[in-house]
Structure 1
């Protein structure tokens, strides 16, 4: 066996291929097992319907596995009156789940790009954020996936993404540092090459705050 072989890379706009999906009954049974492991009785009145509710919640929390960022960004508009400056949508709220502890991290995304072939509907940037946030994640990976999806879909002259989030794995457990924020950002194209464009991006995020 070649131990130096690298794992196959998956395009950031594609959902990872899961293992065989358990049935709903198996998922609910797993929840009952966890309730018992936590020390409670899954058969007491207040917990009888909890497995069904948890599976319903997981369907919503992790709905991003069933969505495709390329399809969301497929429609662009070229009639923009020659506009070619920064398009920024800031303060996009998101919530995701840490892939290490499966507890939430919650924050805001700021997404900007410099148009090349056209612009995309502003709501699409929020929807793309949700596609990737509604998966098991790290904040670093989420940042990279959002910007790469934008680059692949609309081919901007440059893109910038910044995420600010509080991680419950730090607030609720471990070091228990409530209120700590984690900031990640990534630049491509003109934003990566020109520090002045980066400064403009940060200034536009701070404006009005």
Structure 2
């Protein structure tokens, strides 16, 4: 017997690969013509420099193309509970897939300021003097981070959770002067209040409210 959920997800994956290929191709056009100008010089140093610079241009263009596509066509989910296999889960799949193009092809080679620019383009509300040392930010349009907060390396900020045949989507709010350690995972619906410090390799459960203080563990608990 054919499983309609599996068929719809498979169709969504095929659509994602097709559209993703077009996105990459479009983003490569400026870089291609730029690199050809360096190639014409015949100077090895300039050619190598041109390759690196053209790659950077590709990444920037890719960022804007993906953000424009996601926002223009509203390829993102608002908070709620959805059925996996329904049209909403396909929208989420496309959103995650398009953003992954930037996440894997460009963000690992950039500074925090570039990451923040991309997340803001997607709709994240990010304050001043924020440092984000991770590319593992999902559902950025549901993310809010206050001033002077730090997200450690490879921490994961996630605005969705797949449970059985349900997809739960909820915002993540991180206050001011918050520190989140390396490899920590923050799940959907979490609210981390101003001044909270969360140790490395911790887990902030769904819909957990974390007050000011020092926290750590799996799941987190107050240390002091």
More helix by share: 2
Provide the TM-score with structure 1 as the length reference.
Answer: 0.33
TM-score, with normalisation over the residues of structure 2? 0.32
Larger RCO of the pair (alpha carbons < 8 Å, separation 6+) = 1
